[in-house]
């Protein structure tokens, strides 16, 4: 497994992120097209993008960015790589490059992915990787999340 930093995203990178996002995240936060994803990405302040590469193929994407005077992140790992240390590798890399990280994660397993399978909450993954699960929640029509944070 190799982590590759990308200072600007190409169209190929965006297509990969879009496909990964829409296959792994719940359908309630799906991006309908590249333009929708670009709107999301363009709203991020000072983003740093990393791709996880296995056998010369991208299998994960991680991005950290500034929001509300703190460093936040988003991460998606291809299903076939989940449970194999891929996410932990990206998080370890993020911890080397940041003094603190914040994120929102889905609280339960009630949401559905595009293929009809349940979206598994990553709360336990982040707890195992040293993140504090806070009591702060954020809820929309699309999903219910809880804030996670790590301080180095």
Q: Give the C-alpha separation, 117 to 145, whole Å.
A: 19
Q: Give the C-alpha separation, 61 to 47, whole Å.
A: 12
What are the average pLDDT values for consecutive 10-residue runs of the chain, which has 152 residues? 95 98 96 97 97 96 97 97 94 97 93 95 96 91 92 90
- What's the pTM value of the predicted model, to 2 decimals? 0.94
Q: What is the pLDDT of residue 142?
A: 80
Pairing of strands 144-151, 132-139: antiparallel
Q: What is the pLDDT of residue 79?
A: 94
Q: Give the C-alpha separation, 110 to 29, whole Å.
A: 14
Q: What is the pLDDT of residue 140?
A: 83
Q: Is 114 exposed, middle or buried (0-12, 13-18, 19+ CB in 10 A)?
A: middle
Q: What is the pLDDT of residue 22?
A: 98
Sequence-ordered list of residues with C-beta below 8 angstroms from that of 72, at least 6 positions apart, any chain: 64, 65, 66, 101, 102, 103
CB 64 within 8 A of CB 151: no
């Amino acid at each position: 497994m190799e982590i590759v930093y990308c200072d600007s995203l190409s169209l190929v990178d965006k297509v990969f992120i879009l496909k990964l996002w829409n296959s792994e995240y719940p359908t309630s936060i799906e991006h309908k097209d590249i333009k929708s994803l670009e709107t999301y990405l363009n709203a991020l302040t000072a983003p740093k993008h990393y791709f996880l590469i296995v056998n010369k193929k991208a299998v994960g994407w991680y991005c950290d960015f500034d929001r509300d005077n703190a460093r936040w992140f988003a991460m998606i790992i291809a299903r076939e790589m989940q449970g194999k240390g891929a996410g932990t590798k990206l998080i370890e890399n993020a911890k080397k490059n940041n003094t603190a990280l914040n994120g929102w994660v889905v609280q339960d397993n009630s949401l559905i992915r595009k293929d009809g399978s349940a979206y598994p909450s990553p709360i336990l993954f982040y707890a195992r990787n040293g993140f504090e699960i806070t009591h702060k929640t954020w809820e929309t029509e699309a999903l219910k999340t809880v804030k996670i944070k790590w301080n180095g």
